[in-house]
Chain A
């Protein structure tokens, strides 16, 4: 019959197990337990957002616009943004700057409202227009909850007060850390009529009450739709 192990190996095992327990608790406290990236595309369903029923009827199929670049449009106040691929249909409000010089945000209690940055070119005009919208509220998805799933070639339509529609085609989508937010790339001058859609992304930092990343969609004006044209 084998001799049972002495007390020393058991004590060593006890110390190791206790250390492992302490490490696990520390792991949970520091939030390094592999906090997965928020996956708004899979966490939300399209039914939470209104259908793009109000989208203007366009004469050309979406594929026809890929690769085209339209001349800049006259300035007109943007009123709504439509992203047919995502089912986004949202009114637009003006966004200025807050006291700290940061861009204002659309109100959280109106989750389906997006905003366009007023101290940048108007969507459709020459330059980089910027539209931001919330990824989520405290309780559920918001207007740009699925923005990360948009792809190059998809359309973004901006309806304007003169009843014209600026039709943008997505060039690329990127996710960047907020600490390295490319302000000049997003807000800087460009020679064409461009559009940037910005929302939050990445993991949520509960201490800072903020997402760690931003999702940025870069698009260019591919077609200027005027009623009756």
Chain B
């Protein structure tokens, strides 16, 4: 009896969780679409649709630029309307025209501030620094010696070997005598 009630309760909880999850997800999708149309796979209305049904007669309005396609410039035909060759250059307004008035520099210019003449520190300001100068970074210092570690390790190994040998010999002595 109690088991059946628990099953029903679990089923009701699962259904509730499913509904709540679905609603939450729908709300999240809607919010995300409102924030950025391109966030999801769903397309916005004002985006051109790519692909679609091949039988659909609608085509996106494509306006290619009305520029003349130039001929191949690598062959021996003349290049059409190349403005950089012997054609007259257009009037460049930046060279012969009057310079525009710069409003930020038209005010009275400040005279360059003269560099203050060097002056030694007054004697009252003389003071003894705290501590010695730290004028070295160790580039010439020899590296730490490694031989004590090598020798110490070898000695430890030798000691362990000797100890093992002594233990074996002691065992042998006990057996023999």
Contacts and interface: CB of A to CB of B under 8 A. Distances in A.
A211 B136 contact: yes
B155 interface: yes
Contact of B126 (A101, A119, A206): A119
Given A102-B129, A200-B135, A43 B140 contact: yes
B135 A24 contact: no
Interface size class of A (residues with CB under 8 A): 35 or more
Interface in A28-63: 28, 31, 33-36, 38, 40, 43-44
B127 interface: yes
Interface stretch (B13-21, B60-68, B158-166): B158-166
Interface string B138-152: 111110111111011
B130 A100 contact: yes
B129 A187 contact: yes
Interface in A1-25: 6-8, 10-11, 13-25
Contacts of A133: 135
B13 to A, nearest CB: 64
B138 A136 contact: yes
Nearest to A213: B132
A25 B156 CA distance: 10
A210 B135 CA distance: 8
A189 to B, nearest CB: 8
Interface string A114-129: 0001111110010000
B135 to A, nearest CB: 5
B153 interface: yes
B159 A17 contact: yes
Contacts of A138: 137-139
B169 interface: yes
Interface of A: 6-8, 10-11, 13-28, 31, 33-36, 38, 40, 43-44, 75, 77, 97, 100-103, 105-106, 108, 117-122, 125, 132-142, 144-145, 161, 178, 181, 183-184, 187-188, 198-201, 203-204, 206, 209-211, 214
Given A24-B148, A43-B140, A181-B132, 14 more contacts: A7-B170, A11-B163, A18-B159, A20-B155, A21-B151, A77-B118, A102-B133, A135-B135, A135-B140, A136-B137, A161-B118, A183-B128, A200-B135, A214-B135
